[in-house]
Amino acid sequence: MKRLIGLTLTALMGMAASAMAAHPCCTPQCITPPGPNCPDCSSPCDHCLHISLGGCEHVQKLIQDLNGCTCCDRIHAVKKLGCRAHGDFCNNPEILAALVNALQCDPCWEVRRTAAWSILGQNARTEQGVLALYIASRLDPHCLVRDRAAEALDILTLGRKECFAGVFEGGDKLIADLKKAGYKPGSENCSAILVPKAEEMKPTDKPEVPADKKPGT
């Protein structure tokens, strides 16, 4: 009996050793290192169906409502413009332009905060949308607007921050220029300061021609 028990224990130990040797954690493996990170930098308008219930007239009506007399009216319009069922910025680019203007220049901080979230609602992962959120997250005088813009920006660029490295770099320079010019989101002279500075960032379509190469010289 003792001999039988000894043989049984020996057999079990051998089986256990064999099982441990076969376990992937106990055997050397050839691990392939992950490849380079290649984020999807394509436009959000390239891969989705852009179907909205509202037509162009409905969108224009909502944009006009952004000039309403009360904050509540403008918040209501901004919320609807952030819903692609009412209008998609891929089909109606003026939606994003209106939301960016509300984010930067509306005197009511609640409207600016809602506009930041509506840009995310439109999935406006473009240079214009990302830059507007980046500026608001850095310069808006109200902490809740800055927080909401930063949150929307993080979600919008999740896994794609490398795609907008140039936008962030240019945004830092623009922010420095705006500070020098006395820019303040929500102020009356907001557009007068922001628009010219933003235009300066755009590359010129035609390269400058040296003076000695100009026609007639």
pLDDT tens column, 116-162 = 999 999 999 999 999 999 999 999 999 999 999 999 999 999 999 99
Residue 189 is predicted with a pLDDT of 82
Tell me the mean pLDDT in the region 33-50: 74
Please report, rounded to a whole number, the percentage of residues in the chain having pLDDT higher than 70: 71
Which amino acid is residue 169, in one-letter code? E
Closest-CA residue to 57 (of 93, 96, 97, 87): 87
d(CA 106, CA 114): 11
Instruction: Report the range out of 42-46, 155-159, 191-195 with the highest average pLDDT.
Output: 155-159
Instruction: Write the CATH number for 116.
Output: 1.25.10.10
Q: Is residue 150 part of a domain?
A: yes
Residue 124 is predicted with a pLDDT of 94
The single residue listed with the structure tokens 């100009």 is: 214
Structural domain including 189 reads: 56-201
Number of domains in the chain: 1
**190-199, long-range: CB within 8 Å, 24+ apart, which pairs?**
190/104, 190/105, 191/101, 191/104, 191/105, 194/104, 194/105, 198/174
Structure tokens at 136: 């608001």
Helix, strand, or coil (residue 126): coil
pLDDT tens track for 65-92: 999 889 999 999 999 999 988 999 999 9
Q: Is residue 11 part of a domain?
A: no
Average pLDDT, the chain: 81
Q: Is residue 217 part of a domain?
A: no
Closest-CA residue to 102 (of 90, 124, 180, 91): 124
Grade residue 2 by pLDDT with cuts at 50, 70 and 90. Answer: very low
Q: Is residue 171 part of a domain?
A: yes
Q: Is residue 30 part of a domain?
A: no
Q: 211 or 53: which carries more pLDDT confidence?
A: 53
Q: Is residue 103 part of a domain?
A: yes
d(CA 36, CA 116): 32
Q: Is residue 139 part of a domain?
A: yes
